[in-house]
Amino acid sequence: MHELAAAAGIAIIVAVLWEAFETVVLPRRVTRHFRFTRLFYRATWKPWAILLGRVQPVKRRESYLSYYGPLSLLGLLAVWAVLLVIGFALVHWAAGSSMNVATTGLPGGFWTDLYMSGTTFFTLGLGDVTPRSPLARFVTVVESGMGFAFLALVIGYVPTIYQAFSRREVNITLLDARAGSPPSAVELLRRHASDHGRDGLLDLLRDWERWSAELLESHLSYPVLCYFRSQHDNQNWLAALTTILDTCTLVIVGMENVPRRQAQLTFAVARHAVVDLAQIFRTAPTSGHDRRGSEQVSDLRAALAEAGWKLEDGGAAEQKLDELRAMYEPYVRALGHYLHFTLPGWVPPARHRDNWQTSAWGRISGGIADAASVEARQDDHF
C-alpha cells in the first residue's frame, strides 16, 4: 500500500510539473492528445457557457462570460497547487509519516502529512510539525523549494498574460474608428474610399498582418487568452480577425487601386491564425448559414459601389470569392460557436454608432453635442 502511495504521489508531482512547464514555459503548441490543462478548460468552460450563454441582455451576458478567463487562470493555478500538496503528502505518508507531532496534539497519519505538506509548499514555516527522518527532511526541502518556484511562476505568468492581452486589444480598439462597432468589411472600405484613405488601407493591412502574427504566437503559447473578452460587448478578437479576412477577400477578388499583394499576405497570416487556433480547441470546421444572410453578391457589390469601390463582376470573381470564404469561414464559425462570440456581417447594420461616439450620458466628452448629432455628422468625420 505504501509503495502504491509513493508511486501515486511521485506521478502526481511529475505530471503537474510537466503540465506547468508545457503551459507556462514552453513557447509552442503542444500536440499531445491528453493534457490536464485542456481537460480542465473543457470541463469548466462548457458548463459556464451553457449556464450564462442565454442570459439577457447581451451586455450582462458578455460581462458574465468575461469573468471566465481570469477566474479560470487563477483556478488552474490553484488546482496545480492542491495537486502538488497532495502528491507530497502521499510521499510523506509512504515514507512512514516521520513527523514530530508529540507536542502538538495532532494524531499523526495522512492528514498530518497533508497539513505538513501544505505549510511547507506555501512556505509558512509554522514549526508545529517537523520532519523526523532524513528522507522526510529531504522531501520537505524539495517541496519548500518547489513552493518558491511556484510563487515565481505565478508572479511571472500572470503579468505576461495581461501584457499579451493589452497588446491584442490595442488594435481592436483602433479598429473602432476604422471599421465601425461592430466592425464590418464594407464599412472599413467605405471609410478608406478617399485617395488618402486608400493609401492608409495599405498601412492598415500591413499592421494587421503583424497583429495576426502576434495573435497566432501569443494565443498558441497561452490559449487562455482566447477566453479573455474585450471591453465592449460588440467587439472581440475573433470578430476583428474575421473583418480583416473579409476585407482581404474583397481586395483579392478584385478592386481598383488597392494593395492586392499586401491583402494576400495579410490574408495568409490571418487565415493561419484562425486554423491553428481552431486546432487548439479541436473545433472542427462547420458548415452553416451564410454570414451575408439574405444578401447576394449583387447586394454586396452594390453596397461597395455606394461606398466608392468597384468590385469585379462575372462568374470568375464570384467563384474566387466563394473559394476564399471557404478557406476561413468554417473555422471562424466553429470558433465563434465554441467561444460564444458574435461574428460580424459583411455589411454594417442600418443604424449604428461607433463606441467612441457613445457614453453613459449620451454626450461626447466636450458636452456640446448629444449622441444623435454626433451620429448625424458621422459621414463628415469619415
Contacts of 303 (CB under 8 A, 6+ apart): 186, 295, 346, 347
How far is the C-alpha of 214 from the C-alpha of 245, rounded, in Å?
16
Mean pLDDT on 215-241: 92
Domains and CATH numbers, the chain: 2-156 (1.10.287.70), 179-381 (no CATH)
CB neighbour class for 155 (10 Å; exposed up to 12, middle 13-18, buried from 19): exposed
Q: Does residue 350 register a pLDDT over 80?
A: no
State the pLDDT confidence band at 312, using cuts at 50, 70 and 90: confident
The pTM of this model reads 0.84
Q: Does residue 142 register a pLDDT over 60?
A: yes
Residue 265 is predicted with a pLDDT of: 95
State the pLDDT confidence band at 130, using cuts at 50, 70 and 90: confident
- Phi, psi for 130 (deg, rounded to 5): -130, 150
How far is the C-alpha of 358 from the C-alpha of 37, rounded, in Å?
40
Residue 295 is predicted with a pLDDT of: 52
Are 193 and 247 spatial neighbours (Cβ–Cβ below 8 Å)? no
Cα atoms in the Cβ-side hemisphere of radius 13 Å centred on 119? 13
Q: Which helix (H) or strand (E) holds 100?
A: strand 99-100
**Residue 96 three-state SS:** coil
Mean pLDDT on 107-129: 84
Q: Does residue 376 register a pLDDT over 50?
A: no
